[in-house]
Amino acid sequence: MEYTYLSENIVKNQLQQLNNEQTLVLCEEIRHFLIQNVSQTGGHLSSNLGTIELSVALCKVFDFEENAIVWDVGHQCYTYKLLTGRMNRFNKLREKGGISGFPQPNESKYDFFISGHGNTSLSAAIGIATAKKMKGEKGKVIAIVGDGAFTGGMIYEGLNNINDKLDNLIIILNDNKMSISKNVGAMSRYLTKLRTSREYSNAKKQVEDILEKTPIIGKPIREIILDTKSVLRRAVYNSTFFEELGLQYVGLMDGNDVNALTNLFENIKYRKGPLFIHLETVKGKGFKPAEENPGAFHGVSTFDYMHITDPDNTPPDSYSNVMGKKLTELADENSNICSVTAAMKYGTGLQFFYKKHKERFFDVGMAEQHAVTFSAGLAKNGLLPVTAIYSTFLQRSYDQIIHDVVLQNANVMFAIDRAGLVPGDGETHQGIYDAAFLGQISDFVLFSPSNYSELEYWFEKLLLHFNGPRGIRYCRGGESPELKDLGCSGELFDNIFKSSNAKKAFITYGREAEEVMAACTMATENDINVDAYKLLQINPIPEKLIDVLMRYEELIFAEEGIENGGVAQRLLKLLHQQGYKGKYIIIAVKNKGIDHATVKELLKDFNLDAKSLFESLKGNAFE
């Protein structure tokens, strides 16, 4: 398709000059571009199709050289990236060397703030707006908040921190799912139009100023008018929550009407805030499969967008689905088992549990802190909760894990999804911290299986035969044939590669076992004897493993997690306590520089691929 208006320099050269009809054409060109490109690279599709008109209107009215925009969650920013000079880089979206699927300040000056996790935009925007005021800088700060973010408590902490001095703050609620405020028809639309016009704002200010200065009767009349207006708003909008917090509420408006949005933003561009604008958008707008099933097209791999016949197709098997099915099977026999998730029913494989045990399924929204403490409450009153959360999001609830679960020895089981390196999403979504931060808690039992059979065996064992805080972590995607062949021994650690009289040994856990075994095979082909051990229980580290490793002269720990505080360092401490005198090398993920790339590429970046491990084994790493 040839584009008439969409180009690399659309913002600087054309956007402001487009009339209403041309702007509509531009939006359709962007929609086609996103569908075509995301189908080839993968990425977040539904949310971005719903924010095309919003992004175009914002970029048409506001100059983001002077104004700042903060997205929440950042995966809805694709159109904004297109309109800020990155069109020619979309062929490598979320690929190594390409652009990120989230706002990334290192990528562009127009990406003001990293926002890979939800609930953060408002707090960040308040801070940015406050700094602008203190420094005397011009321009607005605009926070785009999805309705899902309003299920998290941090948003309300931010709202509580807004004061009338932040007249440079605009909050836009992109409501594509739930209805916070009802649309009551023509009267609502009329009052919205009236209240957002410059003429109304100017007249309102003039009347208030005149009455304020009128002796004796001016101030009482002004207060009566304000009280009357407040009552009218209660009647019309059925909610005064935002206005009670000092925000000027504007809404509900069609967030997919680009020309109406442009007029709105022109009218409020110079208006003193803080403003709260409530928009209703359609997730997956303009692409029928995504509109019919936005969840299935939230985050997608590559697909043929020209020949989609069943948008509700079941994804291929994965660790997430294996866990979900096993949990459902166990819940069939135990009525105390329940499940908790934080807005990730399908992502964590809990759709199977939901279908059979709906009354025992709890989705608390984008609120991981609440999910953990809620689970502790369930456990303290006799239920058996399984709390399924992505590793990258679990770190948000660390205080609750310690204070509300561990200190009370609450019988909570954590299913930690997306553990280890994650493809495509970049630095904000890596599951590289959980083994380290949970490993600091001596009373937290943590397992890391390498294949489905280990996951099923240890999931059941942990859930039904252990008590207290415990978890099982597993990677995104499915098992490889090499890992499947390992089977399940039922032991806390396994000797997965054996050589004669080996003086060197690898230690690892989880998916990294595949790279370690491949490195051992290379070593054998080069007449190097080496053994390899794979941990199942990574906290606490099994005491018997220490005894086994003491006889080796050189140990290499390959860890798909951060080095500082990780499993490898804890093992080293235990070895030193037993008097180990050999060489010990840790090959792990560094806590920075994690690009958006495939897992194989990321493993290579951190020398965790088989070839790099083999090179370290030859002696280079010990020099």
**How confident is the model at residue 181, as a pLDDT?**
33
Residue 99 has pLDDT above 70, yes or no: yes
Q: How does 560-587 read in b/e, with b if 16+ C-beta sit within 10 Å?
A: bbbbebbbbbbbbebbeeeebeeebbbb
Average pLDDT over residues 418-434: 89
Report yes or no on 477 lying in a domain: yes
**Tens digit of each residue's pLDDT (9 = 90 or more) over 518-532:** 999 999 999 999 999
Please count the residues of the chain. 623
**Residue 204 confidence (pLDDT):** 53
The answer on 547 and 609 residing in a single domain is yes
User: Does position 210 have pLDDT exceeding 70, yes or no?
Assistant: no
In a domain, 358, yes or no: yes
Kindly state whether residues 150 and 54 are assigned to the same domain: yes
Residue 297 lies in a domain: no
Residue 313's pLDDT is 39
Residue 445 and residue 502 share a domain: no
Q: Is 119 left (phi over 0), alpha (psi -120 to 50) or beta?
A: left
The per-residue DSSP string of 433-454 comes to SHHHHHHT-TT-EEE--SSHHH
Q: How far apart, in whole angstroms, are the C-alpha atoms of residue 529 and residue 514?
A: 18
Strand partners for 142: 69, 170
Residue 187 lies in a domain: no
- How far apart (Å, rounded) are the C-alpha atoms in residues 50 and 283? 5
Q: Assess whether 83 and 37 both reside in one domain.
A: yes
Query: Greater confidence, 313 or 33?
Result: 33
Q: Is the pLDDT of residue 542 over 90?
A: yes
Residue 71, in any domain of the structure: yes
**Domain CATH code at residue 539:** 3.40.50.920
> In this model, does residue 500 exceed pLDDT 70?
yes
Same domain, 373 and 407: yes
Mean pLDDT of 217-238: 52
Q: Which residues contact 167 (CB under 8 A, 6 or more apart)?
A: 272, 273, 274
What number of H helices and E strands is found in the chain?
26, 19
For residues 568 and 272, which has the higher predicted lDDT (pLDDT)? 568
Q: 532 and 409 share a domain?
A: no
CA distance readout (Å), 606 to 424, 474, 610: 16, 20, 11
CA dist 362 and 370 (Å) reads: 12
Give the per-residue pLDDT at 46: 83
Q: What is the pLDDT of residue 182?
A: 37
CA gap 568, 588 in Å, rounded: 8
User: Are 387 and 466 part of one and the same domain?
Assistant: yes
- 475 and 518 share one domain: no
Q: What is the pLDDT of residue 312?
A: 38
pLDDT of 220 over the 70 cut: no
> What confidence tier does 185 reach under pLDDT thresholds 50, 70, 90?
very low
pLDDT of residue 240: 54
Whether pLDDT at 7 is above 60: yes
Mean pLDDT for 341-348 is: 91
State pTM to two decimals.
Answer: 0.81
Would 296 be classed as within a structural domain? no
Confidence of residue 190 (pLDDT cuts 50, 70, 90): very low
The helix (H) or strand (E) run that includes residue 361 is strand 361-363
Among residues 448, 481, 514, which one ends one of the domains?
Answer: 481
Is the distance from CB of 125 to CB of 133 less than 8 angstroms?
Answer: no
What does the pLDDT average to over 296-316?
58
> Mean pLDDT, to the nearest integer, of 357-378?
94
Helix (H) or strand (E) holding 555: strand 554-562
* Residue 586 domain boundaries: 495-622
Q: Could you identify the residue written with the tokens 């025992």?
A: 360
Q: What is the DSSP letter of 396?
A: G
- Percent of the chain clearing pLDDT 90 (strictly above): 56
Same domain, 343 and 268: no
Mean pLDDT of 291-295: 67
**pLDDT value at residue 183:** 35
Distance, in Å, from the CA atom of 124 to the CA atom of 158, rounded to the nearest integer, reads 9
pLDDT at 211 > cutoff 90: no
Give yes or no for a contact between 366 and 118, defined as CB atoms under 8 angstroms apart. Answer: yes
Q: 232-291 pLDDT, tens per residue?
A: 444 444 445 777 777 888 878 899 999 999 999 999 998 887 999 999 988 878 777 776
Inter-residue contact 581 to 573 (CB < 8 Å):
no
Give yes or no: residues 139 and 74 share one domain. yes
Query: What distance, in Å, lies between the first and last C-alpha atoms of the chain?
Result: 57
Residue 342 shares a structural domain with residue 409: yes
Summary mean pLDDT of the chain: 85
**Final residue in a domain of this structure, among 458, 481, 504:** 481
Asked whether residue 3 is assigned to any structural domain, the reply reads: no
Structure tokens at 344: 């990730």
Task: Supply the DSSP symbol for 401.
Answer: I
Q: What is the CATH number of the domain that holds 17?
A: 3.40.50.970
Domain count, the chain: 3
Calculate what percentage of the chain has a pLDDT beyond 70: 84
Closest CA to 67 of 166, 15, 141: 141
Domain boundary (481, 511, 541) is at: 481
More confident residue, 2 or 27: 27
Residues 32 and 133 reside in one and the same domain? yes
Q: Say if 216 falls within a structural domain.
A: no
Backbone conformation region of residue 127, classed left if phi is above 0, alpha if psi is from -120 to 50, else beta = alpha
Which residues have CB under 8 Å from 459's CB, separation 6+? 323, 326, 327, 415, 472
Q: Which runs of E-coded beta strand occur in 73-196?
A: 141-146, 169-175
Among the residue ranges 3-12, 51-60, 328-337, 439-448, the one predicted with the least confidence is: 3-12
